[in-house]
Amino acid sequence: MSIKESLEKVRDNVWELPSDYKKEMRVPGRLYLDDESIKDIEEGALEQVANVACMPGIQGASIAMPDIHFGYGFSIGGVGAFNYNNGVVSPGGVGFDINCGVRMLRTNLSEDEIKPKLKELTEVLFKNIPSGVGSKGQIRLKDNEINEVLDYGAWWAVERGFGWEEDLKFLEENGRMKEAESAIVSDKAKKRGIPQLGSLGSGNHFLEVQKIDEIYDENVAKAFGLEAGSIAIMIHSGSRGCGHQICSDYLRKMDKAYRNYKINLPDRQLACAPIDSKEAQSYLKSMAAGANYAWANRQMMSHWIRQSFEEVFSRDAEDMGMTTIYDVAHNIAKKEVHKVKGSHMEVLVHRKGATRAFGPGRREIPKEYSSVGQPVLIPGTMGTASYILHGTDLAMEETFGSTAHGAGRVLSRTAAKKQFTAEQIEKDLNAKGIHVKANSAPVLAEEAPDAYKNVDSVVKTSHDAGIAKLVAKVLPLAVTKG
Partner DNA sequence: ATGTGC
* Nearest to DNA of 25, 207 (CB atom): 207
Is 134 one of the annotated binding-site residues?
Answer: no
275 within 8 A of 88, measured Cβ to Cβ: yes
Q: What is the DSSP letter of 38?
A: H
For the chain, the distance separating the N- and C-terminal CA atoms, rounded to the nearest angstrom, is: 44
Contacts 24+ apart (CB under 8 A), 111-119: 111/211, 111/229, 111/231, 111/477, 113/231, 113/313, 114/209, 114/231, 114/313, 114/477, 117/312, 117/313, 118/209, 118/435, 118/477, 118/478, 119/435
Stretch that binds DNA, among 142-150, 198-206, 367-375, 419-427 (CB under 7 A): 198-206
Q: What stretch of H or E contains 198?
A: none
Residue type, 161: G
CB of 131 to DNA, least distance (A): 9
CB of 165 to DNA, least distance (A): 27
- Residue 202 interacting with DNA (CB under 7 A): yes
Stretch that binds DNA, among 27-35, 116-124, 149-157, 203-211 (CB under 7 A): 203-211
DSSP string, 385-412: -EEEEE--HHHHHHSSSEE--S--BSS-
CB of 481 to DNA, least distance (A): 9
* Nearest to DNA of 289, 470 (CB atom): 289
- How many Cα atoms within 13 Å fall on the side-chain side of residue 316? 3
Rounded-to-integer distance, Cα 320 and Cα 233, Å:
12
Output phi, psi for 145, to 5 deg.
-65, -25
From residue 401 to residue 440, the character string flagging contacts with DNA as x (rule: CB under 7 A) and all else as - is --------x---x---------------------------
Stretch that binds DNA, among 33-41, 92-100, 174-182, 343-351 (CB under 7 A): 92-100
- Residue 192 interacting with DNA (CB under 7 A): yes
Q: Is 166 exposed, middle or buried (0-12, 13-18, 19+ CB in 10 A)?
A: exposed
From residue 159 to residue 188, the character string flagging contacts with DNA as x (rule: CB under 7 A) and all else as - is -----------------------------x
CB of 328 to DNA, least distance (A): 16
Rounded-to-integer distance, Cα 238 and Cα 102, Å:
8
- Residue 65 interacting with DNA (CB under 7 A): no
Q: How many residues bind DNA (CB under 7 A)?
A: 22
Stretch that binds DNA, among 1-9, 122-130, 157-165, 233-241 (CB under 7 A): 233-241
Residue type, 361: G
Using DSSP bridges, classify how beta strands 375-378 and 355-356 pair: parallel, antiparallel or unpaired: unpaired
- Residue 134 interacting with DNA (CB under 7 A): yes
Is 174 one of the annotated binding-site residues?
Answer: no
Which of these is catalytic: 244, 303, 350, 405?
405
Is 331 one of the annotated binding-site residues?
Answer: yes
Q: What stretch of H or E contains 51?
A: helix 43-52
- For the beta carbon of residue 160, count every other beta carbon within 10 angstroms: 19
397 within 8 A of 344, measured Cβ to Cβ: no
- Residue 97 interacting with DNA (CB under 7 A): yes
Is 69 one of the annotated binding-site residues?
Answer: no
- Residue 245 interacting with DNA (CB under 7 A): yes
**Of the candidates 29, 153, 238, 401, which one interacts with DNA according to CB under 7 A?**
238
- Residue 136 interacting with DNA (CB under 7 A): no
CB of 119 to DNA, least distance (A): 25
CB of 406 to DNA, least distance (A): 9
- Residue 352 interacting with DNA (CB under 7 A): no
CB of 471 to DNA, least distance (A): 25
- Residue 190 interacting with DNA (CB under 7 A): no
421 CA to centre of own chain: 27
Q: What is the DSSP letter of 171?
A: B
Q: What is the torsion angle, in degrees rounded to the nearest 10, for the CA atoms of residue 148, residue 151, residue 153 and residue 157? A: -20
Q: Does the active-site annotation cover 69?
A: no
| Residues 6 or more apart whose Cβ sits within 8 Å of residue 328 | 101, 102, 103, 172, 355, 356, 374, 375, 376, 377
Is 379 one of the annotated binding-site residues?
Answer: yes
CB of 413 to DNA, least distance (A): 6
**Of the candidates 87, 91, 241, 373, which one interacts with DNA according to CB under 7 A?**
241
**Of the candidates 22, 108, 203, 310, which one interacts with DNA according to CB under 7 A?**
203
- Residue 482 interacting with DNA (CB under 7 A): yes
Q: Give the 3-state DSSP-derived string for 289-330, with helices as H, strands as E and coil as C.
A: HHHHHHHHHHHHHHHHHHHHHHHHHCCCCCCCCCCEEEEEEC
Please give the residue ranges that form the binding site for DNA (CB under 7 A).
96-97, 100, 133-134, 188, 192, 196, 201-205, 238, 240-241, 244-245, 409, 413, 447, 482
Residues tagged active-site: 405
Please report, in range form, the residues annotated as the binding site for Mn(2+): 97, 205, 236, 330
Please report, in range form, the residues annotated as the binding site: 97, 204-208, 236, 330-331, 379-382, 386, 405-408, 481
